[in-house]
Structure 1
Amino acid sequence: MFGNLTRVGSNYHAEEAWNNLKALNGKIGQVQSRLSTGKRINSAEDDTSGYALAKNLEGRTRGLSQALDNVGTAKNVLNIAEGGFQSQMSLLQTMKEKATQAADGSWSGDQRQAIHDQFAALRTEFDKISEDTLFNSSSSLFSSTALEFQVGAGASDQLSIVIGTSVATSVGEGSTDISTLSLSAAGDAQTAIGTLDTAIGSLAKSVQNIGDYNARLSSKEESLSLAISNTEATRSRIEDADFAKEQMSMMKLSILQQTAMGSFAQANSSSQMVLSLFQ
């Protein structure tokens, strides 16, 4: 274990001090790398299991973050659909008003026909709104085809939404047909009043469904935000460097580096004592 100072073929103490100094320099380099990158794990070598855990958590966090963006997009799509429904609802209310007006017996045939012409124009605009309610230049949102939204990090985390059709031949949830309504005669106008009341109820149900979907998405938004925060905190605790801890380690290693350097210099010069035997 101990070298002999009178033998100069090998300087055990200097070699040991040199090895210790190299090990300290390696540790200092590792701490400096952590301080410069902000990460405790910069390669798999630093902590193999920690590296695997951190990357899995990072993948989940990024998936959840994208899912949160998807939820925002889904809400935008639903808001566009609701805006279209609201515009159609306004038209239905006006059409109901015109039907009530035409049902009154005080109007002449020509006057009632004028009311009917306005009614028909409103019905045409009703269908036009359905055609123009688009998202991302796709086909009309008013469709019975389900829209699939990815609202989670897993493959099965999807929300299926059916907005439903809303045209003159099939209005809202109840598929009420207003395409053949006429206000040309008082009796027809009276029939139209009842049909329009039903259509208003059907469309109101469709708007309610949109609100229910939006409420579910808002709840999903909150849960995703919480999951992202907690997952990222867990990843950070595993992968990121604790600057206070690393700075304390750096101070300790710097002191040891200086003492190791002094020890190496002292051990390296001890063999010079042999020369005194020749004086």
Structure 2
Amino acid sequence: MPMSVQTNMGSISALKNMNINSSNMNKSLERLSSGFRINSASDDAAGYAISAKLQGEKGKLEAASQNSLQATAMVKTAESGVNEIENMVRRLQVLATQAASANNGANERTKLAGEAANLLGQIDKIANGVNYNGTKLLDGSGASTTTFQVGAANSANDQVAVDFSADFTTATTGLGIAAIDLTTASGAATAIDTLNTALDGLTTDRASFGAAVNQLSYVSANLATQMEQVSASISTIKDADMAKEMADFTKSQVLVQAGTSMLAQANQSSQNVLSLFR
């Protein structure tokens, strides 16, 4: 090979390889410090596009999970109110049954009617007062179809509807028990039938709330599984294999050090030309 001072091919080759290894070492450092294999779209264009889409999907699923939990809390709030109303209606049945019996006189029936009036008042207070975030749930003013978004897509499969339109007040539009009269035996006998009808409606409505809570619990469990799988997919595509990156970094670091030494040797070889002039 001719000896030349204008072009040092050994130095050029050593510099090229050292730059390549230095770039690889810096890329490994970036991945080791961030924990991600993909830090920019240029690292893996297809992988970046897929992981970005999956991250968007994960965000929507997390929001849907929160919606499901809040929907469950809302339905449970309504159900707990209905539970107390049901307990008071059962107590009213006991009072009506006592008042309908001939062994109770006018004074006893007056006392029974007084307790019944207090219970009726409390039923109305609960029905008119139970709300979730300002939305009344038991006074009949709610929507017949209250829709909760519990999925990532705008479709019926990702929504749950709950009926909050039932009226649990004592009015005729609700339970229809406001006018019960326990001051007479005949009135108490009529009240027994009225309260039985009211209780049947209460148990039906409460059962629907219970079914909605169960449905939402399954929705929440399914969303948790979906988020887990999406997170695993993102990790597979985007996360760095730390053991592999450390091995690559060590290899590149050694090659950079060797390249630096070889570049110095290649540069020194040009000095050999001077021996020709001695």
TM interval, short-chain normalised? over 0.9
Please tell me whether the aligned partners of residues 92 and 119 of structure 2 are also in contact (alpha carbons under 8 angstroms).
yes
Q: Distance in 2 between matches of 1:214 and 1:65?
A: 19
1: CA distance between counterparts of 2:33 and 2:72? 41
Match of 1:122 in 2: 119
Shift of 1:176: 4.2
Query: Structure 1: 5+ residue runs without aligned partners?
Result: none
SS in 2 for 1:149: strand
Query: Paired residue for 1:26, among 5, 23, 28?
Result: 23
In the TM superposition, what whole-angstrom CA distance separates every residue of 1:103-140 from its partner, at most 9, and x where no partner exists? Answer: 01123334323322321221111111011111113334
Match of 2:268 in 1: 269
| 2:241 counterpart residue number | 242
Give the superposition deviation at 1:155.
2.2
User: Per-residue displacement from partner, 1:64-98 (whole Å, max 9, x unpaired)?
Assistant: 11211211111111111111011101110111111
Q: Mind listing any 5+ residue stretches in structure 2 that lack a counterpart?
A: none
| TM superposition score normalised by structure 1 | 0.93
RMSD of aligned C-alpha atoms? Answer: 1.6
2:59 to 54, 59, 62: 62
Q: Measure how far apart 1:211 and its partner are.
A: 1.0
**Aligned runs of 1:31-180 on 2, under 5 Å?**
31-143=28-140, 144-145=142-143, 146-156=145-155, 157-163=158-164, 164-169=166-171, 176-180=175-179
2:159 is aligned with what amino acid? Q
Q: Is it true that 1:6 corresponds to 2:8 in the alignment?
A: no
CA contact (8 A) 1:5 1:271 kept: no
Helix, strand or coil at the partner of 1:274: helix
What TM-score do you get using the length of structure 2 for normalisation?
Answer: 0.93
Q: Share of identical aligned residues, percent?
A: 32
Residue deviations 1:162-189 (CA, integer Å, cap 9, x gap) = 1322111258xxx542122211211111
Q: Could you tell me whether the CA contact under 8 Å between 1:181 and 1:192 is conserved in 2?
A: yes
Comparing 114-123 with 234-243, greater Cα deviation is found at: 114-123
- Conserved? CA contact 2:81–2:127, under 8 Å: yes
2:138–2:168 contact (8 Å) kept in structure 1: no
Residues 170 and 255 from structure 1, CA distance in 2 versus in 1: closer, same or farther, beyond 3 angstroms?
farther
For 2:217 and 2:67, how far apart are their aligned partners in 1?
12
CA contact (8 A) 2:168 2:175 kept: no
Amino acid in structure 1 at the alignment position of 2:161: S
Corresponding pairs, count: 273
Cα shift at 1:266: 1.4
Secondary structure of the corresponding residue to residue 63 of structure 1: helix
